[in-house]
Amino acid sequence: MQKLVKVTILSALLALGGCAAMMRTPPLPGDTLEVVRAKFGEPTAVHPLPAGQVLEYATGPFGQFTWMARMGPDGKLIALEQVLGDVGFGRIKIDKASKADVMATVGRPAERSYLSLSDLEVWSYRYKESGVWNSMMHVHFDRSGIVRKMISGPDPMYEERRGFFRD
């Protein structure tokens, strides 16, 4: 029980910290890179694209939101959106997307793991499915770094522990 309380408090603090960072005045399309950084701060990562770049503002590993600021080749903001959800995950093409594509689409994962039996690397992302359910999207990569499957399920961090051996 005490461990659950600690995890809950830690999650709340991290979520509030992520929310506080994103409660600033949002940049608008057409704003320059300098204005975006002044309004949103330093990004957690920058992903170069053939035509511009994407600034990642992640709240992970416990956060459920990642904002991506897509900058054009002219250094001006094209769009700012929260990408952890159906729309962002829907942009990842199975059997085509690479690790770099996934990073530029939905940002860094909350967790990374490896499934030795199927020889797949898994990147897991916490998010609110349909804006309601605490979920995790698991993106599976083969040895060449190509997405082979995606599976969504409940986020075990929020699952109630039942049974004889509880903390």
Nearest to 111 by CA among 119, 121, 101, 102: 121
Residue-wise pLDDT for 24-59, tens only, equals 688 999 999 999 999 999 999 999 999 999 999 999
Domain boundaries, the chain: 2-158
Q: What is the pTM of this model?
A: 0.79
Reported as a pLDDT band with limits 50, 70 and 90, residue 167 is low
